[in-house]
């Protein structure tokens, strides 16, 4: 095998000593260090690198940078990654990649049939074709997905080599070409803190592949000097392989740094806050829209120069250039100087720069003015072109070439400027968009402003760097711009579509998404004239490359079609990210166990070791739903635990309960205003149940508040709403009642809560030994006392969520496990049973203790859930009072909480099941329109030996005894409405 057939004998910045073996589409090749995958493939003479998205046409490398529209690959192996542009992928040893979107291979792709049938696949054909019958969309979808789409998502996790880094600087400079380096130099010399980022592997921008000179030496020697000087500046950080991907408000810019060579980090997402930003993002050459302009071998003119001069690779043996501007002549001449046979320059203009024409002619290049490419011969590689004189399409002439350079002008890379809020302006002279007025603290410099000569880029950059540094407080002297090669102005003649030879001919405006000029015309005919609509209808500009090279051509074409100016059409919105950001980089270290920082209680490990079935239970807690014995089912475990609490004794970890300490002389006034009941008469050492509403009358939370001292209360809140309640209370204190002397401290994590509940609870506490009298007369329901239990200082309260005799111990979190184990030991004789939160939920359902988040919704008020008894009749205003009285004034049916006893006592009504009148005959899914309520929770109660449920039913309180129907997917079950409290309705057991 001949190695690297298209590698030039000398030249380029690759390291010819370091040979790198790699694989592409299963075949082995070699390249050099310093290559990209694209340049290495080109060196090996590979011209078809992929297939197009819709028509599966063979495609070759189009560019040498981030604007690549054809050459996307899937990296295989442990670092699998889809849709990577080969043009920005540095070649590494052992790289294994294959083309995306080709099956079975790039050279023989069965999807190619869509190309032959292209007339049946116009823009919008999915919407038109697959809409009937309406419900078959999913069925069609499975086939569409197989045909469409790019790379495949990796099957394994991306690993942990991603990180985020915050960075603050005076000046961020995006782009390390001549303008960006000049800006970095002048800003750096001022002493300002500078971050310079560039998305290539080396600084220098287009000069890496150019024959330009600075100070009468090759331009790269100036670049090398500047980079060396910058590296010596302590306040300057220079990052290569780092793309600025998004520009957000307040000069916040995200930068994705790729470090494939590092073992400890693969990608690093920088979150940069800069006082000033210089955008020196350069410009992207645009293709020309002509028949079969997507054939392999057709390439941007500047890219061919870059491959030749930077990588030492000949992009073809015999080249031709198709252009509309003077700037591109340079590339034809550079190629000729490097030994590529350049047959002709085909220029649509008649007024090309005479000196350039003369220079070209001297290199043996024929310059053909006033002509265009009328036909491309060769499907998998250009073999020849036919050209025609403009206006007279008939006079054809054939030119043999295997490389067709195209240059339709240059588009400044205004993406970041636009993301920063700037509105692009249309420049008639350049026939493209340039940055408009700065909105944030940002200036553009160099080619991204439409200044395309090297001299302008350098002076722009030097000035911009000095200006931004000065505005950060770092004045400096002017630096004289170096002298450099004379360059001509573009002097371009815009051409948005070259006349097509045949009515079935196709010219592509978006290679990546296979959008042709005909699709744009169709969109316009069908009324999608706005460029935003045309984009979405045709998908032009929506591919992996986001239309970096093609978008302006689409705008120009639409302007032509509608006979308006491109400036009046405007651009589509530029949105982050400029270039793709991997999910791994977005996640950073938030990976695996670190995705969610689960909160733990001191008992969590004990549960894990003892059969606890942990699940997410809100507020980032993972609590045991039940604690199963070996071989025990969930239902059996819950039944066993629930029976133990009612008949023996259970123990429950209540640590996740929210706890807010309330101090201050106005604490009572505050509680009176935020709870619906009155707090003035609560003595120290007692507690009280309270219900808290939002000011719109909806249920916020309920719980017990203890009075620990004259001016010290401790409020318990639901675990899930602890943070919401704190915000609610703090906002009222700070914003509505700043005059109140009240201080809130969240102490949820400071205290472990362990509750012993059941008829034998008192015996267990006695056995654990406590220093207080816990007899019923001395320690009553809702009392709270400081005590010692099992040798640990604690506070113990007679409060309950199960309806049984309960002792709730609160100890510092670090003593939680000691107390838990001591109580387990003390309760051994009574078979003390740890219970989980599902069991707790079952027990509270038997008692109809309301859960604001389940029995309440966005409509129910405190009376609806049967909690009217908690509303004080004779007190002033409280939060939610007026809204509740408005509910009553408005009248109408209310969703009231009732109990349900299903006729089939084994049927457990599922949460959320709709309730319908028993005479509603309709059993179709649409029947839920007639629902009169819904199940809020249902359980099988082992204590009642039947199923029970709580439900919201319209005016349910007045319907006790009625029969209604509960609907589920599989069956309809009738149930009787009953009083909600199923067990111990008078609450004697908890007061025992």
Partner 1 sequence: MVIECPHCGERHEDEFVYGGDVRHARPENPDALSDAAWRDYIYSVPNTKGWAKEHWWHVRGCNRWIVVQRNSVNNELRSETDENYHG
Binding site for partner 1 (CB under 8 A): 249-250, 273, 421, 439, 695-696, 727, 730-731, 734-736, 738, 877, 881-883, 885-886, 889-890
CB of 880 to partner 1, least distance (A): 10
Query: Considering the complex, what minimum distance in angstroms separates the CB of residue 718 from partner 1?
Result: 19
**Contact between 961 and 937 (Cβ < 8 Å):** no
Helix axes 517-525, 551-562, angle to 10 degrees: 50
Is 188 or 422 the residue whose CB approaches partner 1 more closely?
A: 422
Q: Quote the least distance from Cβ 203 to partner 1, whole Å.
A: 30
**How many helices and strands in the chain, by DSSP H and E?**
26, 49
Please identify, using beta-carbon distances, which residue of 505 and 883 lies nearer to partner 1. Answer: 883
Residues 6+ apart with CB under 8 A from 115: 55, 56, 57
Cis omega (within 30 of 0) on the bond before 104?
A: yes
Nearest residue (CB) to partner 1, 46 versus 744: 744
Residue 384 φ then ψ, to 5°: -165, 165
Nearest Cα neighbor of 87 from 106, 105, 107, 69 is: 69
Token pair 């604490």 is found at 667
Considering beta carbons, is residue 736 or 771 the nearer one to partner 1?
Answer: 736
Whether cis (ω within 30° of 0) applies to the bond prior to 875 is: no
DSSP for residue 736: I
Q: Which is nearer to partner 1, 166 or 264 (CB)?
A: 166
Length reported for the chain: 992
Nearer to partner 1, 562 or 745 (CB): 745
Could you tell me which of 33, 111, 39, 102 has the C-alpha nearest to residue 68?
39
913 touches 966 (CB < 8 A): yes
* Nearest distance, CB of residue 734 and partner 1, angstroms: 4
Nearer to partner 1, 54 or 417 (CB): 417
Strands 242-248 and 252-258: antiparallel
Cα separation, 722 vs 707, in Å, equals 19
Q: Return the ∠ at Cα 593 (arms to 591 and 596), rounded to 5°.
A: 85
**Least distance between partner 1 and beta carbon 841 (Å):** 29
Specify whether the CB–CB gap between 148 and 93 falls below 8 A.
Answer: no
**Cβ nearer to partner 1, comparing 250 with 945:** 250
The nearer residue to partner 1, 128 or 886, going by C-beta atoms, is 886
CB of 324 to partner 1, least distance (A): 38
CB of 696 to partner 1, least distance (A): 5
Tokens of 177: 């070409």
Q: Which of 879, 883, 882, 877 is nearest to 859 (CA)?
A: 883
Residue 833 β-bridge partners? 650
Rounded Cα–Cα distance for residues 950 and 973 (Å): 15
- DSSP state at residue 138: H
Q: Which is nearer to partner 1, 883 or 954 (CB)?
A: 883
327 vs 314: CA distance, rounded Å: 21
H-run or E-run covering 190: none
Residue 743's CB: how many other CB atoms inside 10 A? 12
Minimum separation from the CB atom of position 885 to partner 1 (A): 7
Task: Give the shortest CB-541-to-partner 1 separation in angstroms.
Answer: 25
- The nearer residue to partner 1, 27 or 731, going by C-beta atoms, is 731
How far CA 113 is from CA of 55, 120, 856, in Å, comes to 7, 11, 59
Minimum CB distance to partner 1, residue 482 (Å): 38
Q: Supply the minimum distance, in Å, between the C-beta of residue 422 and partner 1.
A: 12
Report the residue number, 243 or 418, with the smaller CB distance to partner 1.
418
CB of 273 to partner 1, least distance (A): 7
For residue 744, the minimal CB distance to partner 1 (Å) is 9
Nearer to partner 1, 874 or 889 (CB): 889
Return the SS3 of 462: helix
Instruction: Give me the phi and psi of 744, to 5 degrees please.
Output: -110, 140
The helix/strand/coil state of 902 is strand
């Amino acid at each position: 095998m001949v190695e690297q057939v298209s590698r030039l004998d000398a030249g380029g910045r690759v390291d010819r000593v370091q040979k790198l073996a790699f694989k592409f589409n299963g075949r082995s090749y070699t390249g050099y260090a310093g290559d990209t995958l694209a340049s290495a493939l080109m060196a090996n003479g590979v011209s078809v690198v992929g297939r197009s998205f819709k028509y599966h046409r063979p495609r070759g490398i189009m560019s040498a940078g981030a604007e690549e529209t054809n050459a996307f690959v899937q990296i295989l192996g442990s670092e699998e990654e889809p849709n990577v542009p080969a043009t920005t992928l540095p070649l590494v040893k052992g790289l294994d990649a294959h083309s995306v979107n080709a099956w079975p291979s790039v050279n023989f792709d069965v999807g190619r049939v869509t190309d032959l049938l292209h007339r049946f696949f116009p823009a919008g054909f999915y919407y038109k074709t697959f809409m009937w019958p309406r419900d078959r969309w999913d069925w069609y979808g499975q086939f569409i997905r197989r045909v469409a789409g790019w790379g495949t998502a990796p099957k394994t996790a991306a690993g942990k080599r991603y990180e985020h880094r915050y960075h603050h600087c005076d000046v961020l400079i995006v782009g390390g070409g001549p303008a960006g380096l000049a800006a970095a130099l002048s800003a750096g010399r001022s002493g300002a803190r500078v971050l310079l980022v560039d998305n290539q592997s080396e600084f220098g921008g287009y000069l890496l592949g150019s024959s330009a000179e600075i100070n009468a030496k090759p331009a790269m020697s100036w670049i090398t000097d500047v980079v060396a000087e910058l590296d010596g500046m302590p306040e300057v950080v220079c990052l290569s392989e780092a793309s600025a991907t998004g520009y957000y408000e307040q000069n916040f810019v995200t930068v994705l740094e790729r470090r494939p060579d590092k073992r400890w980090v693969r990608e690093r997402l920088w979150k940069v806050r800069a006082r000033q930003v210089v955008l020196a993002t350069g410009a992207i050459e645009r293709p020309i829209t002509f028949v079969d302009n997507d054939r392999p071998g057709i390439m941007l003119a500047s890219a061919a120069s870059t491959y030749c001069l930077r990588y030492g690779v000949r992009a073809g043996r015999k080249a031709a250039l198709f252009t509309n501007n003077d700037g591109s002549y340079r590339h034809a001449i550079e190629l000729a100087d490097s030994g590529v046979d350049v047959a002709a320059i085909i220029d649509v203009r008649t007024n090309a720069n005479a000196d350039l024409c003369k220079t070209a002619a001297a290199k043996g290049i024929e310059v053909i003015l006033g002509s265009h490419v009328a036909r491309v011969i060769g499907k998998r590689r250009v073999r020849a072109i036919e050209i025609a004189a403009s206006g007279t399409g008939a006079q054809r002439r054939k030119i043999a070439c295997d490389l067709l350079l195209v240059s339709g002008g240059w588009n400044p890379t205004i993406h970041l400027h636009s993301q920063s809020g700037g509105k692009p302006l249309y420049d008639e002279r350049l026939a493209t968009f340039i940055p408009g007025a700065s909105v944030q603290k940002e200036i553009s410099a160099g080619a991204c402003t439409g200044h395309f000569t090297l001299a302008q880029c350098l002076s722009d950059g030097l000035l911009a760097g000095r200006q931004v540094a000065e505005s950060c407080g770092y004045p400096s002297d002017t630096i004289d711009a170096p002298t450099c090669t004379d360059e001509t102005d573009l002097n371009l003649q815009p051409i948005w579509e070259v006349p097509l030879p045949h009515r079935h001919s196709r010219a592509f405006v978006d290679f990546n998404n296979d959008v042709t000029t005909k699709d744009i015309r169709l969109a316009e005919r069908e009324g999608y004239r706005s460029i935003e609509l045309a984009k979405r209808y045709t998908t032009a500009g929506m591919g992996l490359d986001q239309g970096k090279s093609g978008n302006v051509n689409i705008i120009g074409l639409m302007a032509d079609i509608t006979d308006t100016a491109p400036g009046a059409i405007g651009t589509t919105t530029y949105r982050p990210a400029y270039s793709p950001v991997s999910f791994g980089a977005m996640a950073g270290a938030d990976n695996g166990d670190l995705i969610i920082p689960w909160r733990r209680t001191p008992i969590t490990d004990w549960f894990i070791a003892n059969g606890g079935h942990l699940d997410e239970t809100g507020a980032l807690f993972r609590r045991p739903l039940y604690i199963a014995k070996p071989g025990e089912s969930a239902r059996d475990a819950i039944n066993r635990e629930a029976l133990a609490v009612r008949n023996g004794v259970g123990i429950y970890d209540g640590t996740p309960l929210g706890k807010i300490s309330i101090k201050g002389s106005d604490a009572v006034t505050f509680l009176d205003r935020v709870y619906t009941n009155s707090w003035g008469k609560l003595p120290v050492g007692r507690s009280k149940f309270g219900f808290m509403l939002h000011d719109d009358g909806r249920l916020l939370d309920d719980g017990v508040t203890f009075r620990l001292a004259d001016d010290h209360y401790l409020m318990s809140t639901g675990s899930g709403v602890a943070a919401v309640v704190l915000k609610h209370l703090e906002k009222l204190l700070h914003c509505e009642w700043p005059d109140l002397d009240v201080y809130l401290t969240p102490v949820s994590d400071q205290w472990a809560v362990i509750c012993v509940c059941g008829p034998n609870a008192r015996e267990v506490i006695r056995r654990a030994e406590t220093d207080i009298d816990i007899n019923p007369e001395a320690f009553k329901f809702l009392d709270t006392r400081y005590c010692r239990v099992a040798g640990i200082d604690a506070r113990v309260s007679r409060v309950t969520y199960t309806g049984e005799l309960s002792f709730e111990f609160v100890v510092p979190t670090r003593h939680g496990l000691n107390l838990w184990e001591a109580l387990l030991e003390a309760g051994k004789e009574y078979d003390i049973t740890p219970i989980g939160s599902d069991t707790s939920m079952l027990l509270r359902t038997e008692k109809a203790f309301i859960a604001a988040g389940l029995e309440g919704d966005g409509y129910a008020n405190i009376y609806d859930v049967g909690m009217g008894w908690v509303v004080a009749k004779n007190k002033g205003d409280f939060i939610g009072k007026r809204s509740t009285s408005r509910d009553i004034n408005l009248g109408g049916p209310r969703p009231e909480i009732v109990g349900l006893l299903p006729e089939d006592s084994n049927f457990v009504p599922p949460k959320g099941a709709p309730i319908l009148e028993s005479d509603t005959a309709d059993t179709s899914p649409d029947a839920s329109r007639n629902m009169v309520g819904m199940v809020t929770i249902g359980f099988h109660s082992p204590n009642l030996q039947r199923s029970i449920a709580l439900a919201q039913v319209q005016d349910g309180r007045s319907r006790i005894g009625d029969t209604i129907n509960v609907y589920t997917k599989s069956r309809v079950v009738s149930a009787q409405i009953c009083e909600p409290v199923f067990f111990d309705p008078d609450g004697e057991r908890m007061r025992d």
